């Protein structure tokens, strides 16, 4: 609790990792256009120099499509659906689908790394994947942590 008991604080809920090679925190607000299911995944991305956190600023649902760090293996791609009250922090090197919204356009806060070095790697899949996204998932509210070593939640 803070501010005389009027605010619940969930402090340090994501390991924001941006300091590699002198990087700094970059806050952005982005608008994602709505997509419909099932998702056709043709490209994945990763950030080798820092984590990337994304949190909805409104009522947008967000699909989370991930694969473990390392060489991209389409057989290890998994998908989740985050509610408008959940965010994600992709750890350094974790493969993920670039941001999209479900059920309407959405605004999102993105906490990313800015600085020297290439922090974005895009890889086109040899064959596109059609990924089902479950209607709901049970995760800790606020931030889903996808671990770089296992890709597991």
| Chain segment 38-69, per-residue pLDDT in tens | 788 999 999 999 999 999 998 888 888 999 99
Instruction: Say how far apart CA 38 and CA 138 lie, in whole Å.
Output: 20
The pLDDT tens digits for 69-98 are 999 999 999 888 888 888 899 999 999 999
Instruction: Say how far apart CA 72 and CA 61 lie, in whole Å.
Output: 25
Instruction: Say how far apart CA 69 and CA 124 lie, in whole Å.
Output: 16
**Contact of 50 with 112, CB cutoff 8 Å:** yes
Q: Is 130 exposed, middle or buried (0-12, 13-18, 19+ CB in 10 A)?
A: exposed
pTM of the model: 0.80
């Amino acid at each position: 609790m803070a501010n005389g008991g009027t605010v619940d604080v969930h402090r340090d809920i994501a390991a924001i990792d941006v300091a590699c090679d002198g990087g700094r925190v970059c806050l952005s607000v982005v608008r994602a256009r709505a997509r419909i299911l099932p998702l056709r995944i043709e490209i994945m991305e990763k950030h080798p120099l820092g984590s990337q956190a994304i949190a909805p600023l409104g009522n947008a649902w967000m699909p989370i499509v991930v694969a473990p760090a390392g060489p991209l293996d389409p057989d290890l791609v998994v998908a989740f659906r985050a509610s408008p009250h959940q965010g994600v922090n992709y750890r350094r090197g974790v493969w993920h689908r670039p941001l999209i919204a479900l059920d309407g356009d959405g605004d999102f806060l993105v906490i990313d790394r800015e600085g020297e070095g290439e922090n974005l790697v895009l890889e086109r899949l040899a064959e596109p994947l059609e990924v089902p996204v479950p209607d709901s998932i049970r995760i800790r509210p606020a931030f889903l942590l996808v671990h770089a070593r296992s890709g597991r939640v």
